[in-house]
Amino acid sequence: MRDYGADSVSVTEVAVATNGDVVKARQMVRTLAQSSGLSLVHQTKLVTAASELGRNMLVHGGGGTVRASAVVEGPRKGVWVEFADHGPGIEDIGLALTDGWTSGNGMGLGLSGAQRLVDEFDLDTGSSGTTVRIVKWGR
C-alpha cells in the first residue's frame, strides 16, 4: 500500500482515549468523506470501518491516534485513515482476522468486517503497537 500519509499535506488528527473520542474521530472521517465526494454508501462504509478500528484501538491498544486525509490518485478521489496505538500488538493476525473470533466480548467481526468495508487495508503489528491504515475510494 502506498504511503498516503507521507504524501498528503493536510492530515487531520484526533487522539483517542475515551469512547467520546471514537465518536469525534468518526465525525472527522465523515466530514472528510463528504468533502471528498464519496457516495452515501461509501461514506457509511468508511465511517463504520473507522468506528470499528477506532474502538479496537481503544479497547485492545489502550487508545492511540487517528489520522486522516483526503487522497487523490489519477482521476479517483478517496480518504485515507490511519489508526496507531502503542498497545501490546496482535499475537495472531490470521486468527484476529477470522470472522467470529474475539478476544473480548464483542461479535468478533470488527477487524475482519472493517477489512471488507474498505478498498485498501494494511495491518502492521508488533510488540510496540499496532498500526492499521485504510483507504476508501470514491468509485
Residue pair 47/30 in contact by the 8 Å Cβ criterion: yes
Residue from the set 113, 123, 124, 138 that interacts with other proteins by CB under 8 A: 113
Site for other proteins in 17-36 (CB under 8 A): 19, 23, 26, 30
Residue 20 CB: number of other CB atoms within 10 A? 9
Interface region with other proteins, contact rule CB under 8 A, candidates 40-48, 73-81, 90-98, 121-129: 40-48
Q: Are 83 and 132 in contact (CB under 8 A)?
A: yes
Q: Which is nearer to other proteins, 6 or 41 (CB)?
A: 41
CB 50 within 8 A of CB 81: yes
Of the chain, the end-to-end C-alpha distance in Å amounts to: 18
Instruction: Note the residues at the interface with other proteins (CB under 8 A).
Output: 19, 23, 26, 30, 40-41, 43-45, 47-48, 51-52, 55, 99, 106-107, 109-110, 112-114, 116-117
